Amino acid sequence: MAVFTVDQVRKTITNGQVKEEILKGINLSLREGEITALVGASGSGKSTLLTIAAGLQPATDGTVLFEGKNILTMSSEQVRKIRASKFGFVFQFAHLVPFLTVAEQLMLMLDVAESTLKKTEQKQEVDKILNLVGMEHRKDAYPSSLSGGEKQRVAIARAIIHQPKVLFADEPTASLDSRKSHDVMTLIRDLTKTLNITTLLVTHDEEMLSYTDHIIKMSDGRTRGQVHCPA
Protein backbone atom coordinates (compact mmCIF):
# COMPACT_ATOMS: atom_id res chain seq x y z
CA MET A 1 0.00 0.00 0.00
CA ALA A 2 1.33 3.49 -0.86
CA VAL A 3 1.66 5.46 2.39
CA PHE A 4 3.32 8.37 0.74
CA THR A 5 2.74 9.90 -2.68
CA VAL A 6 4.71 12.76 -4.17
CA ASP A 7 2.99 14.30 -7.17
CA GLN A 8 4.39 16.91 -9.54
CA VAL A 9 6.62 18.47 -6.88
CA ARG A 10 8.62 21.47 -8.08
CA LYS A 11 11.10 23.61 -6.20
CA THR A 12 12.42 26.90 -7.53
CA ILE A 13 15.15 28.86 -5.75
CA THR A 14 15.65 32.55 -6.43
CA ASN A 15 19.22 33.78 -6.14
CA GLY A 16 19.22 37.52 -6.79
CA GLN A 17 17.83 37.91 -10.33
CA VAL A 18 18.39 34.25 -11.19
CA LYS A 19 15.67 31.63 -10.75
CA GLU A 20 16.78 28.02 -10.62
CA GLU A 21 14.39 25.08 -10.75
CA ILE A 22 16.02 22.39 -8.62
CA LEU A 23 13.07 19.94 -8.67
CA LYS A 24 11.26 19.75 -12.01
CA GLY A 25 8.02 17.88 -11.39
CA ILE A 26 8.81 14.84 -9.23
CA ASN A 27 6.42 11.89 -8.86
CA LEU A 28 6.99 8.93 -6.59
CA SER A 29 5.13 6.65 -4.24
CA LEU A 30 6.47 4.83 -1.21
CA ARG A 31 5.03 1.62 0.14
CA GLU A 32 4.81 0.12 3.63
CA GLY A 33 7.55 -2.28 4.64
CA GLU A 34 9.80 -1.21 1.76
CA ILE A 35 13.00 0.81 1.38
CA THR A 36 13.13 3.20 -1.55
CA ALA A 37 16.56 4.61 -2.36
CA LEU A 38 17.18 7.96 -4.02
CA VAL A 39 20.46 7.95 -5.91
CA GLY A 40 22.09 10.40 -8.29
CA ALA A 41 24.96 12.81 -8.77
CA SER A 42 25.74 15.50 -6.23
CA GLY A 43 23.36 18.42 -6.73
CA SER A 44 20.69 16.35 -8.51
CA GLY A 45 18.10 17.23 -5.86
CA LYS A 46 17.98 14.15 -3.57
CA SER A 47 18.20 15.95 -0.23
CA THR A 48 15.84 18.69 -1.39
CA LEU A 49 13.26 16.05 -2.31
CA LEU A 50 13.72 14.19 0.99
CA THR A 51 13.36 17.36 3.07
CA ILE A 52 10.23 18.45 1.17
CA ALA A 53 8.69 14.97 1.55
CA ALA A 54 9.47 15.13 5.29
CA GLY A 55 7.82 18.53 5.68
CA LEU A 56 11.12 20.22 6.55
CA GLN A 57 10.87 22.78 3.75
CA PRO A 58 8.07 23.94 1.42
CA ALA A 59 7.77 23.10 -2.28
CA THR A 60 6.99 25.67 -4.95
CA ASP A 61 4.27 23.47 -6.42
CA GLY A 62 2.81 19.95 -6.23
CA THR A 63 1.43 17.68 -3.51
CA VAL A 64 2.89 15.34 -0.90
CA LEU A 65 0.16 13.02 0.29
CA PHE A 66 0.73 11.25 3.60
CA GLU A 67 -2.15 9.07 4.82
CA GLY A 68 -4.33 10.80 2.23
CA LYS A 69 -3.58 14.39 3.34
CA ASN A 70 -1.42 16.95 1.56
CA ILE A 71 1.30 17.99 4.00
CA LEU A 72 2.32 20.89 1.75
CA THR A 73 -0.91 22.76 2.49
CA MET A 74 -0.95 22.08 6.25
CA SER A 75 -0.08 24.70 8.86
CA SER A 76 3.45 24.54 10.26
CA GLU A 77 2.03 23.30 13.59
CA GLN A 78 0.16 20.44 11.87
CA VAL A 79 3.33 19.47 9.98
CA ARG A 80 5.40 19.65 13.19
CA LYS A 81 2.98 17.26 14.91
CA ILE A 82 3.15 14.78 12.03
CA ARG A 83 6.96 15.00 11.96
CA ALA A 84 7.20 14.42 15.71
CA SER A 85 4.72 11.55 15.91
CA LYS A 86 4.74 9.80 12.50
CA PHE A 87 8.18 10.40 11.01
CA GLY A 88 11.65 9.32 12.08
CA PHE A 89 14.96 10.78 10.88
CA VAL A 90 18.50 9.46 10.55
CA PHE A 91 21.27 11.59 9.09
CA GLN A 92 24.95 11.14 8.21
CA PHE A 93 25.98 12.05 11.76
CA ALA A 94 24.09 10.75 14.78
CA HIS A 95 23.62 14.20 16.40
CA LEU A 96 23.21 12.71 19.88
CA VAL A 97 22.85 15.06 22.86
CA PRO A 98 26.30 14.88 24.54
CA PHE A 99 25.07 15.17 28.15
CA LEU A 100 22.34 12.51 27.92
CA THR A 101 22.85 8.78 28.28
CA VAL A 102 21.71 6.41 25.53
CA ALA A 103 18.48 5.63 27.41
CA GLU A 104 17.84 9.31 28.12
CA GLN A 105 18.16 10.19 24.40
CA LEU A 106 15.30 7.79 23.70
CA MET A 107 13.17 8.99 26.63
CA LEU A 108 13.58 12.54 25.30
CA MET A 109 12.32 11.44 21.88
CA LEU A 110 9.22 9.91 23.50
CA ASP A 111 8.60 13.29 25.15
CA VAL A 112 9.00 15.13 21.83
CA ALA A 113 6.57 12.69 20.21
CA GLU A 114 4.11 13.39 23.07
CA SER A 115 3.96 9.72 24.00
CA THR A 116 0.92 8.79 26.09
CA LEU A 117 2.75 5.89 27.76
CA LYS A 118 3.38 6.01 31.52
CA LYS A 119 7.03 6.51 32.58
CA THR A 120 7.45 2.83 33.50
CA GLU A 121 6.05 1.79 30.11
CA GLN A 122 8.35 4.28 28.38
CA LYS A 123 11.34 2.72 30.15
CA GLN A 124 10.21 -0.74 29.00
CA GLU A 125 9.87 0.59 25.46
CA VAL A 126 13.40 2.03 25.63
CA ASP A 127 14.75 -1.36 26.75
CA LYS A 128 12.85 -3.12 23.96
CA ILE A 129 14.14 -0.83 21.21
CA LEU A 130 17.71 -0.88 22.54
CA ASN A 131 17.51 -4.66 22.50
CA LEU A 132 16.27 -4.51 18.89
CA VAL A 133 19.27 -2.45 17.77
CA GLY A 134 21.74 -4.42 19.93
CA MET A 135 22.59 -1.55 22.28
CA GLU A 136 20.91 -2.57 25.53
CA HIS A 137 24.30 -3.19 27.17
CA ARG A 138 25.23 0.50 26.60
CA LYS A 139 21.99 2.09 27.85
CA ASP A 140 23.77 4.10 30.59
CA ALA A 141 26.66 5.19 28.36
CA TYR A 142 27.22 8.76 27.15
CA PRO A 143 27.77 9.40 23.41
CA SER A 144 31.47 10.26 23.86
CA SER A 145 32.20 6.65 24.84
CA LEU A 146 30.44 5.11 21.80
CA SER A 147 31.97 4.16 18.44
CA GLY A 148 30.62 5.71 15.20
CA GLY A 149 28.59 2.59 14.42
CA GLU A 150 27.18 2.44 17.96
CA LYS A 151 26.20 6.11 17.80
CA GLN A 152 24.35 5.47 14.55
CA ARG A 153 22.54 2.49 16.13
CA VAL A 154 21.38 4.77 18.94
CA ALA A 155 20.31 7.39 16.35
CA ILE A 156 18.29 4.69 14.58
CA ALA A 157 16.73 3.57 17.89
CA ARG A 158 15.82 7.21 18.59
CA ALA A 159 14.31 7.51 15.10
CA ILE A 160 11.99 4.53 15.59
CA ILE A 161 11.13 4.51 19.32
CA HIS A 162 7.87 6.39 18.76
CA GLN A 163 6.85 3.82 16.10
CA PRO A 164 6.93 6.16 13.10
CA LYS A 165 5.18 5.27 9.86
CA VAL A 166 7.97 6.74 7.74
CA LEU A 167 11.74 6.71 8.23
CA PHE A 168 13.78 9.32 6.34
CA ALA A 169 17.44 8.34 6.16
CA ASP A 170 19.79 10.85 4.48
CA GLU A 171 23.22 9.26 3.93
CA PRO A 172 23.04 7.21 7.18
CA THR A 173 26.21 5.27 6.36
CA ALA A 174 28.33 8.10 4.91
CA SER A 175 30.45 8.52 8.04
CA LEU A 176 30.97 4.78 8.63
CA ASP A 177 33.46 2.22 7.38
CA SER A 178 32.31 -0.57 5.08
CA ARG A 179 31.57 -3.18 7.77
CA LYS A 180 29.61 -0.76 9.95
CA SER A 181 27.77 0.52 6.88
CA HIS A 182 26.58 -3.02 6.13
CA ASP A 183 25.58 -3.49 9.80
CA VAL A 184 23.58 -0.25 9.80
CA MET A 185 21.83 -1.07 6.49
CA THR A 186 21.02 -4.58 7.72
CA LEU A 187 19.48 -2.96 10.80
CA ILE A 188 17.48 -0.43 8.75
CA ARG A 189 16.28 -3.20 6.45
CA ASP A 190 15.27 -5.52 9.34
CA LEU A 191 13.43 -2.71 11.14
CA THR A 192 11.65 -1.63 7.94
CA LYS A 193 10.39 -5.18 7.44
CA THR A 194 9.58 -6.18 11.03
CA LEU A 195 7.95 -2.87 12.03
CA ASN A 196 6.39 -2.32 8.57
CA ILE A 197 7.96 1.13 8.22
CA THR A 198 8.06 3.04 4.94
CA THR A 199 11.68 4.04 4.43
CA LEU A 200 13.13 6.68 2.10
CA LEU A 201 16.92 6.48 1.88
CA VAL A 202 19.35 8.86 0.20
CA THR A 203 22.72 7.27 -0.49
CA HIS A 204 25.84 7.69 -2.60
CA ASP A 205 27.06 4.21 -1.79
CA GLU A 206 26.09 1.71 -4.50
CA GLU A 207 26.90 -1.22 -2.21
CA MET A 208 24.01 -0.18 0.05
CA LEU A 209 21.49 -0.55 -2.79
CA SER A 210 21.35 -4.32 -2.31
CA TYR A 211 19.40 -3.64 0.90
CA THR A 212 16.68 -1.65 -0.87
CA ASP A 213 13.43 -2.62 -2.61
CA HIS A 214 13.32 0.23 -5.13
CA ILE A 215 15.91 2.58 -6.59
CA ILE A 216 14.97 5.98 -7.98
CA LYS A 217 17.67 7.70 -9.99
CA MET A 218 17.72 11.48 -9.87
CA SER A 219 19.37 13.65 -12.45
CA ASP A 220 19.15 17.42 -12.76
CA GLY A 221 15.98 17.72 -10.65
CA ARG A 222 14.10 14.87 -12.34
CA THR A 223 13.58 11.21 -11.53
CA ARG A 224 14.67 8.61 -14.06
CA GLY A 225 12.53 5.57 -13.47
CA GLN A 226 11.76 3.46 -10.45
CA VAL A 227 13.75 0.24 -10.45
CA HIS A 228 12.38 -2.70 -8.48
CA CYS A 229 15.04 -4.75 -6.74
CA PRO A 230 14.16 -8.42 -6.55
CA ALA A 231 14.57 -9.84 -3.03
Ligand X SMILES: Nc1ncnc2c1ncn2[C@@H]1O[C@H](COP(=O)(O)OP(=O)(O)OP(=O)(O)O)[C@@H](O)[C@H]1O
Under the rule (CB under 6 A), what is the footprint of ligand X?
A: 13, 22, 40, 42-48
Q: In the complex with ligand X, which residue's Cβ is closer, 193 or 217?
A: 217
Contact assessment for residue 52 and residue 9, using Cβ atoms and an 8 Å cutoff: yes
Q: In the complex with ligand X, which residue's Cβ is closer, 21 or 104?
A: 21
> What is the smallest separation between the CB atom of 40 and ligand X, expressed in angstroms?
6
> What is the smallest separation between the CB atom of 7 and ligand X, expressed in angstroms?
19
Which SS3 state, helix, strand or coil, does residue 151 take?
helix
SS3 content of the chain, % helix, strand, coil (to 5): 40, 30, 30
Long-range pairs for 111-116: beta carbons < 8 A, 24 or more residues apart: 112/84, 112/162, 113/84, 113/85, 113/161, 113/162, 114/84, 114/85, 115/162
Q: In the complex with ligand X, which residue's Cβ is closer, 22 or 56?
A: 22
> What is the smallest separation between the CB atom of 190 and ligand X, expressed in angstroms?
26
> What is the smallest separation between the CB atom of 13 and ligand X, expressed in angstroms?
4
Q: In the complex with ligand X, which residue's Cβ is closer, 22 or 229?
A: 22
Chain Cα centroid distance, residue 165: 10
Element (H, E) at 121: helix 119-132
